[in-house]
Amino acid sequence: MNIEQIKQPFTDIFLGDFSDNPMQRNTPKVLFATVKPAGFDGPKLIAFNETLAEETGLGPYEEKDLDFLVGNNLPENVKTYATAYAGHQFGNWAGQLGDGRAILAGEIISKDGKKTEIQWKGSGATPYSRHADGRAVLRSSVREYLMSEAMYHLGVPTTRALSLAFTGEDVVRDMMYNGNPQLEKGAVVIRTAESFLRFGHFELISAQQEYKTLQDLVDFTIKNYYPEITTDGIEKYKHFFESLCTRTANLMTEWFRVGFVHGVMNTDNMSVLGLTVDYGPYSMMDEYDLNFTPNTTDLPGRRYAFGKQGQISQWNLWQLANALHPLIKDEKFLENTLNHYGSYFWEAHDKMLCKKFGFDELRESDEEFFTNWQGLMQELQLDYTLFFNQLEKLNPESDVKSLFENVSYVVLTDQRVRKLEDFAKKYEARLISNTISREKSLSLMKQSNPKFTLRNYLLYECIEEINAGKTEMLEKLTRALENPYEELYPEFSAKRPSAYDDTTGCSTLSCSS
Ligand code: AMP
Ligand code: MG
């Protein structure tokens, strides 16, 4: 890999703490602190993403690069650092947080000018580790590595994953926070993004009333990641906030399209570029449920349930609006933009649903159709992904019971079959009124409805296998997630086996990582 081409433009521009002191502390007025990865004695490669390495300009992996994958023996040019951010966690201001288990190597620029930040997750403590160890376990590292790539191939904006390696060190974790600590294998993921900047970076510096730094940070963000913004002064900052709102609404729509629940939508986990960032207790949805909340830390409140992600993103943007107010200085504008967000999001969301159903355009009557459909999905506990796959096969002659029987998590009683038949009639009537051909309608459906989604139980099985020293499942899942709109493996196009209904780490997850 071309490790020698990695640079740190961020630390050249902004104020930082250059003491290299990993002791946990507040670092007021700065955006980062330099810190070295812990270093690990027994690194072992689990997976490497050759295509991403090529795209970023890092180039192919050689055996000598193994050290770099866990942050060992870094060359002179890799001056590592952790960034400081703040955030609202579960609705409350949490003050300074920061990269607690992530350390940045810096940025690389590909031949065609694409910028990519590179960071280790799980490579050791930083000033922002808040009494934790800065390590990550295999379980959470596999989940981040595979899911971020799965999202990328689904077409959802996301950070990506370059490598997954064992550290050779064991880590103690109490997975469900119930007084049951166990030793787990430690691992490190290298993840990449155009930028890892979060809402929380802006909130931190604004809360400290460091408005000059705030302005510099917004200018930096616009210059590097919002090239479409060409206005100046306050207009520029308004334009930035509007664009970020659009990107965020589009991201939420994409999460709804594929059935992704983030799990911890705190403002420190919200990307300023509109990317999915921080894969923790996330989950793809099996049976459709607007209340689905995989993160046990979020019970019983269900703040971050599947169906609430639109509203929550708006709440998070309110917090960012507060942070940006000293620059934009126009309450009315911020309020209007945020109010518009709600209507923009729901329209984008409904247009997305139209495509999933193969409808030509969004009509007023579709809203009622969608509400009825949601009720049906919820009541019959239909699998979100498989439902749409089966819907493509529906025609006026279909026997709906046999079409949807293997897609429901409850028994399809006669009464339930009647509800399905009723839905099918309404659906067909809506299709007939389409102004586009059936082929065009089917092609919309095929582009919007994945055949493969990375279900929790598959991840769970994959982690068990890697723990036992095997990687067949990892390789198979990698191929499947790289081609989510095809059915490469029929065994993956099936419901979650009932044996996994209540498995910890499968149907229920915690933030422990
Ligand atoms: P998260 O729930 O992943 O968004 O993390 C919230 C905050 O806790 C972030 O500042 C993390 O960096 C920090 N954090 C979580 N786990 C650890 C850990 N094992 N070591 C250090 N910091 C951590
Ligand atoms: Mg986080």
**pLDDT 10s digits, 228-269:** 999 999 999 999 999 999 999 999 999 999 999 999 999 999
If asked whether residues 166 and 112 sit together in one domain, one would say: yes
Ligand 1 pocket residue status of 99, Cβ below 6 Å: yes
Q: Please give the distance, rounded to the nearest whole angstrom, from the Cα atom of residue 121 to the centre of ligand 1.
A: 10
> Domain ends where: 304, 333, 355?
355
Query: For ligand 1, what atom is nearest to the CA of residue 511?
Result: 2
Query: For ligand 1, what atom is nearest to the CA of residue 102?
Result: 12
What residue has token string 């590292």? 141
What does DSSP say about strands 32-34 and 16-17: parallel, antiparallel, or unpaired?
Answer: parallel
> Domain ends where: 375, 401, 433?
433
450 assigned to some structural domain: no
What residue has token string 């769970």? 460
Ligand 1 pocket residue status of 264, Cβ below 6 Å: yes
350 assigned to some structural domain: yes
**Closest C-alpha to ligand 1, atom 2:** 511
DSSP sequence for 289-313: -TT---BGGGTTT-TT-GGGHHHHH
Which residues fall in the annotated binding site for ATP?
A: 98, 100-101, 121, 133-134, 191, 198, 278
Tell me, rounded to whole angstroms, the distance of Cα 47 from its chain centroid.
20
At residue 65, what are phi and psi to the nearest 5 degrees?
-80, -10
Query: Would you say residue 507 has pLDDT above 90?
Result: no
pLDDT at 222: 98
As given in the structure block, the two tokens for residue 334 are 């911020």
- Ligand 1, residues 83, 97, 119, 169: which to mutate, most atoms within 8 A of Cβ? 97
> Domain ends where: 384, 401, 433?
433
If asked whether residues 65 and 186 sit together in one domain, one would say: yes
**Closest C-alpha to ligand 1, atom 15:** 100
Torsion, CA 254, CA 259, CA 262, CA 266, rounded to 10: 60
Ligand 1 pocket residue status of 98, Cβ below 6 Å: yes
If asked whether residues 341 and 421 sit together in one domain, one would say: no
Quote the number of domains for the chain.
4
Of 99, 268, 366, 383, the catalytic one is 268
23 assigned to some structural domain: yes
Query: Would you say residue 502 has pLDDT above 90?
Result: no
Q: Please give the distance, rounded to the nearest whole angstrom, from the Cα atom of residue 131 to the centre of ligand 1.
A: 10
What residue has token string 């294998």? 185
As given in the structure block, the two tokens for residue 328 are 């934009």
If asked whether residues 337 and 386 sit together in one domain, one would say: no
**Closest C-alpha to ligand 1, atom 14:** 100
506 assigned to some structural domain: no
Task: Let me know if 268 is a catalytic residue.
Answer: yes
Cis peptide before 127 (omega within 30 of 0): no
389 assigned to some structural domain: yes
pLDDT at 164: 98
pLDDT tens for residues 299-349? Answer: 999 999 999 999 999 999 999 999 999 999 999 999 999 999 999 999 999
24, 125 contact by CB (below 8 A): yes
Nearest Cα residue to 504 out of 460, 474, 455, 458: 460
Query: Would you say residue 182 has pLDDT above 90?
Result: yes
Report, as an integer, the average pLDDT of 426-454. 98
Strand partners, 7: 107
Ligand 1 pocket residue status of 132, Cβ below 6 Å: yes
257, 483 contact by CB (below 8 A): no
DSSP sequence for 35-63: ------SS-EEEEE-HHHHHHHT-----G
322, 393 contact by CB (below 8 A): no
Query: Would you say residue 189 has pLDDT above 90?
Result: yes
Q: Please give the distance, rounded to the nearest whole angstrom, from the Cα atom of residue 249 to the centre of ligand 2.
A: 20
**Closest C-alpha to ligand 1, atom 6:** 97
What does each C-alpha distance from 502 to 16, 279, 280 come to in angstroms? 46, 21, 19
DSSP sequence for 363-385: -TTHHHHHHHHHHHHHHTTBBHH
448 assigned to some structural domain: no
pLDDT band at 513 (very low <50, low <70, confident <90, very high): confident
If asked whether residues 409 and 472 sit together in one domain, one would say: no
pLDDT at 506: 79
Return d(Cα 363, Cα 301) in angstroms, integer: 34
As given in the structure block, the two tokens for residue 65 are 């690069």
If asked whether residues 170 and 21 sit together in one domain, one would say: yes
Query: Which residues have C-beta under 5 Å from ligand 2, the single-atom ion?
Result: 269, 278
Report, as an integer, the average pLDDT of 169-181. 92
Which residues fall in the annotated binding site?
A: 98, 100-101, 121, 133-134, 191, 198, 269, 278
- The CA-CA-CA angle for residues 151, 152, 156, to 5°, reads 65
Query: For ligand 1, what atom is nearest to the CA of residue 133?
Result: 20
Task: Name the least confident of 64-68, 156-160, 486-490, 503-507.
Answer: 503-507
pTM more than 0.85: yes
What does each C-alpha distance from 52 to 193, 433, 438 come to in angstroms? 11, 44, 37
If asked whether residues 234 and 272 sit together in one domain, one would say: yes
Edge-to-edge strands of the sheet including 182-193? 16-17, 32-34, 81-83, 102-109, 115-121, 182-193, 160-173, 44-48
Single-letter residue type at 346: W
Fill in the DSSP letter of residue 511: S
375, 368 contact by CB (below 8 A): no
If asked whether residues 306 and 368 sit together in one domain, one would say: no
Q: Please give the distance, rounded to the nearest whole angstrom, from the Cα atom of residue 422 to the centre of ligand 2.
A: 44
Tell me, rounded to whole angstroms, the distance of Cα 45 from its chain centroid.
24
The residue segments making up the domain with residue 482 are 456-500
Query: Would you say residue 175 has pLDDT above 90?
Result: no
201 assigned to some structural domain: no
What residue has token string 């009557």? 365
Query: For ligand 1, what atom is nearest to the CA of residue 125?
Result: 21
**Closest C-alpha to ligand 1, atom 13:** 100
446 assigned to some structural domain: no
Q: Please give the distance, rounded to the nearest whole angstrom, from the Cα atom of residue 433 to the centre of ligand 2.
A: 46
Q: Please give the distance, rounded to the nearest whole angstrom, from the Cα atom of residue 481 to the centre of ligand 1.
A: 27
Strand partners, 192: 118, 160
Cis peptide before 300 (omega within 30 of 0): yes
Ligand 1 pocket residue status of 100, Cβ below 6 Å: yes
> Residue 95: left if φ>0, alpha if ψ -120 to 50, beta else—which one?
left
pLDDT at 503: 83
pLDDT band at 156 (very low <50, low <70, confident <90, very high): very high
Ligand 1 pocket residue status of 278, Cβ below 6 Å: yes
Return d(Cα 154, Cα 260) in angstroms, integer: 11
- Ligand 1, residues 24, 25, 130: which to mutate, most atoms within 8 A of Cβ? 130
Q: Please give the distance, rounded to the nearest whole angstrom, from the Cα atom of residue 100 to the centre of ligand 2.
A: 9
